[in-house]
Amino acid sequence: MPPLPVPLFRRPLRLLLVAGALLFGPPSGAGYIDAIAAVKPSVVAIGTFAPDRSPRVRMAGTGFAVADGRHVVTNAHVVDMKLARGERLVVIRARSGDAEVRQVLGSVPRAERDIALLEVGGPALPPLALGDSDTVPEGSDLAITGFPLGLILGLHPVTHRAFLAGIVPFNVPAVRGAQLTAKSIKARKNGNFSVFQLDATAFPGNSGSPLYNPADRKVYGIVSMVFRGRTGANPAEQPSGITFAVPASHIAQLLRDQGLTP
């Protein structure tokens, strides 16, 4: 039986509904649901492990797998620590309510960009693809997935929306003459670059979280720091809602410098 013709008085309404669907697309949450499920397996916690302390694992920040899946990117300040005797840097991955701890075999920090590349042991993790961060327009609706409060809430990566409020210069603060060292001079020389300013709630444990677009699931930046409303304010207790992320172009350059494909 051939399909019945649509009455003429219904056609404008039908066309209007179709046009509206094409213009506005599905509900915004729909893209997030699929993207979060795809991204979470690649997100890991960065911390330290010591067999003779309690708890044996302490978390320092977040990271995510890149390149061949045997490398993880995080912030340089997350891994900038002096390890005690018997303590080692590890990557912790959530697996069905359990934790999989992997040893870090080596690290390449780039302090002036607050990024670090870690080589991890074990089978390859599902890597996240990097997007072209130079093409991200202000006003983009993005997301960050990580461990905002460390292991306080358990090993459960969570996601926050991140509105790209602006692309702003990051300036290394001025130092006094007594503080001028070879390291500080190099940081001032190489540390001025543009970063993403986000309208997003992030916490200390989010350091190293991927900033990605739910539409294509590509990483366009890495969360680096949050703005503190006043001196001494604890961002875990009084989040400012202003977060900064280092563009992914710097991650891509670090990977290429190490002979890896972004």
Give the mean model confidence (pLDDT) for residues 64-84. 95
Give the mean model confidence (pLDDT) for residues 86-104. 88
| Rounded Cα–Cα distance for residues 242 and 257 (Å) | 31
| Best CA proximity match to 189, nearest among 111, 84, 77, 80 | 111
Report whether pLDDT(260) > 90: yes
> For position 234, what pLDDT does the model report?
56
Report whether pLDDT(108) > 90: yes
| Rounded Cα–Cα distance for residues 145 and 164 (Å) | 15
| Rounded Cα–Cα distance for residues 66 and 73 (Å) | 7
Please state, for a pLDDT cut of 70, what percent of the chain lies above it.
74
DSSP 2-19: PPPPPPGGGHHHHHHHHH
Contact between 94 and 155 (Cβ < 8 Å) = yes
9 band by pLDDT with thresholds 50, 70 and 90: very low
Report whether pLDDT(261) > 80: yes
30 band by pLDDT with thresholds 50, 70 and 90: low
> For position 170, what pLDDT does the model report?
79
pLDDT tens per residue across span 211-248: 999 999 999 999 998 876 555 555 555 566 899 999 99
- Top-level class of domain 133-257: mainly beta
Give the mean model confidence (pLDDT) for residues 56-68. 95
Q: Is the pTM for the entire model greater than 0.85?
A: no
pLDDT tens per residue across span 241-252: 899 999 999 999
Report whether pLDDT(147) > 90: yes
pLDDT tens per residue across span 153-199: 678 899 999 999 999 987 644 445 554 556 545 555 555 789 999 99
Per domain, the residue ranges of the chain are: 133-257
